[in-house]
């Protein structure tokens, strides 16, 4: 390349900055001067004119400006006219891996499959997710069968599988209608429910044999079964089942079979059409609803349009969030899903919680992400304003204390 020496130096600097942001520039210490910090902590604290301190990839503290000085050695990011918001969490994703490499349409239940081997870090769709402030996703297998395998929770920034994986298994994916009835010759709900139940009963029996051995009730260990061994954490409630379930009759079966009888930590995934009619059944349970990607439903009997999240909320379900089912809805539009939910009657602050803290709780990763609190992973977005306002944009996304997206370097939207 023939150019003056000074231009070559500038060109190299731009390339270095761009390469660094795409892979994640590690900053040992960051100090973000923020106009507003939405912490999403237990006190729902919102701080105006604050400073967020990050060290070694985690949040260290959040203080108001004037309460302390920024020590030497910090990289200062001036966001004095912007919002700092926890990294968005999507509990239903198909883009952080290559689903073309996962054939979950083999049998009606496929308990041995998992998405871990399909992960493709830093792919183009995940780069778009970062531009929308999304920092954590649950990569799920498809919904063409009643049980399609185990999902994987990943970050949206990192070069290798080890970089991005947060937990595997992330959840067990079950689909109770809404696709599996078209499997091969066609099956009805009674068969689908029977087939799901008998698979879980086999897995539970396997788990109980191991518990008996570990408690010393039997002397010989059971034969290891790679198909059912992953279910042990499910029955120990170390991770949830995320259930593709919609229409109130099907959602009722999900609540009765999985949450009540098998006592599995359950996430209603989708919960659309008139699934919100089951909200009163969830009182006193730890069942979460992550609604989407449909945010409204037209009731032909009432000739009336309903906002799904608004109706779930009105029915008493407070463990409520939104998803994209990306690429059904682009991952970067997770915030727009909640904006639409608010258009149809939900509450803005609770909606923002529904794509940060609530899905983190649902996936049982809230000890690491979902809020801006000391010790948690420094995942956050710097926004021009309220993320639920379609006029706002995410100007910077930080994952584990690394700048993963910077609109000043390369804007995607």
Buried-exposed string 72-107: b where 16+ CB fall within 10 A, e elsewhere: eebeebebeebbbbbbbbbbbbbbbbebeebebeeb
CATH number for the domain that contains residue 32: 2.30.40.10
Residues 75 and 110 in one domain: no
Residues 179 and 137 in one domain: yes
Q: List alpha helices for 91-135, DSSP H.
A: 124-131
> What's the total number of domains in the chain?
2
Does a structural domain hold residue 384?
A: no
pLDDT at position 101? 81
Residues 56 and 183 in one domain: no
Distances (CA, A) of 63 to 52, 305, 322, 371: 7, 44, 30, 15
Residues 130 and 17 in one domain: no
Does a structural domain hold residue 330?
A: yes
Residues 63 and 101 in one domain: no
The helix or strand, by DSSP H or E, that contains position 336, with its residue range, turns out to be helix 334-343
Does a structural domain hold residue 390?
A: no
205: tokens are 């029996």
Residues 94 and 76 in one domain: no
Does a structural domain hold residue 318?
A: yes
Does a structural domain hold residue 105?
A: yes
Distances (CA, A) of 141 to 14, 123, 245, 257: 39, 17, 15, 21
Helix then strand then coil, in percent of the chain rounded to 5, is 30, 30, 40
Pairing of strands 46-55, 58-64: antiparallel
Residues 34 and 94 in one domain: no
pLDDT, one tens digit per residue, over 265-299 is: 999 999 999 999 999 999 999 999 999 999 999 99
Structural domain boundaries enclosing 359: 88-369
Buried-exposed string 228-266: b where 16+ CB fall within 10 A, e elsewhere: bbbbbebbeeebbbbbbbbbbebbebbbebbbeebebbb
pLDDT at position 27? 56
Does a structural domain hold residue 380?
A: no
Residues 42 and 117 in one domain: no
pLDDT, one tens digit per residue, over 234-255 is: 999 999 999 999 999 999 999 9
CA angle at 129 for the pair 128 and 132, rounded to the nearest 5°: 95
Q: Cis ω on the peptide bond leading into residue 22 (within 30° of 0)?
A: no
Does a structural domain hold residue 376?
A: no
The secondary structure of 193-231 as a DSSP string is: HHHHHHHHHHHHHHHHHHHHHHTTSSSSPPPP-TTTTTH
Low-confidence ranges of the chain (pLDDT < 70): 1-27
Residues 6+ away with beta carbon under 8 Å from 336:
329, 390
Three-class secondary structure of residue 130 per DSSP: helix
Does a structural domain hold residue 319?
A: yes
Q: CA 23 to CA 399: how far, in whole Å? A: 11
Q: CA 358 to CA 352: how far, in whole Å? A: 9
Closest CA to 381 of 411, 351, 356, 348: 356
Residues 69 and 179 in one domain: no
Instruction: Tokens 């029915």: give the residue.
Output: 315
Phi-psi region of 273 (alpha: psi -120 to 50; beta: other; left: phi over 0): left
């Amino acid at each position: 390349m023939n150019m003056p020496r000074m231009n070559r130096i500038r060109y190299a600097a731009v390339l270095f900055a761009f390469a660094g942001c795409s892979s994640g520039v590690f900053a040992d210490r960051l100090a973000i001067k923020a106009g507003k910090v939405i912490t999403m902590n237990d006190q729902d604290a919102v701080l105006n004119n604050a400073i967020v301190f990050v060290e070694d990839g985690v949040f260290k503290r959040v203080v108001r400006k004037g309460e302390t000085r920024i020590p030497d050695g910090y990289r200062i990011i001036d966001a004095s006219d912007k919002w700092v918001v926890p990294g968005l969490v999507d509990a239903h994703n198909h883009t952080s891996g290559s689903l073309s490499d996962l054939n979950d349409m083999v049998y009606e239940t496929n308990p041995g499959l998992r998405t871990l081997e399909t992960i493709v870090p830093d792919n183009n769709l995940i780069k778009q997710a970062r531009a929308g402030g999304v920092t954590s996703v649950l990569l799920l297998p498809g919904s063409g069968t009643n049980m399609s395998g185990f999902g994987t929770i990943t970050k949206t920034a990192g070069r290798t599988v080890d970089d991005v994986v947060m937990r595997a298994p992330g959840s067990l994916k079950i689909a109770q209608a809404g696709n599996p009835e078209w499997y091969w010759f066609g099956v009805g709900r009674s068969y689908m429910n029977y087939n799901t139940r008998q698979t879980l009963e086999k897995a539970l029996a396997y788990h109980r044999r191991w518990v008996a051995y570990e408690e010393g009730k039997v002397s010989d260990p059971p034969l290891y079964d790679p198909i059912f061994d992953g279910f042990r954490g499910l029955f120990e409630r170390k991770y949830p089942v995320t259930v593709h379930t919609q229409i109130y009759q099907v959602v009722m079966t999900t609540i009765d079979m999985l949450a009540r009888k098998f006592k599995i930590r359950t996430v209603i995934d989708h919960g659309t059409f008139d699934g919100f009619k089951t909200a009163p059944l969830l009182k006193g349970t730890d069942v979460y609803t992550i609604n989407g990607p449909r945010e409204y439903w037209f009731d032909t009997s009432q000739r009336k349009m309903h906002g799904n999240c608004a109706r779930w909320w009105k029915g008493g379900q407070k463990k409520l969030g939104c998803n994209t089912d990306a690429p059904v809805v682009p991952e970067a539009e997770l915030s727009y899903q909640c904006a639409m939910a608010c258009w149809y009657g939900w509450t803005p602050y609770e909606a923002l919680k529904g794509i940060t803290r609530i899905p983190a709780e649902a996936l049982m990763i809230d000890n690491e992400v979902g809020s801006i609190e000391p010790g948690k992973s420094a995942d956050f977005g710097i926004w021009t304003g309220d993320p639920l306002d379609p006029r706002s944009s995410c100007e910077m996304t930080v994952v584990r204390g690394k700048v993963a997206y910077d609109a000043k370097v390369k804007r995607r939207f």
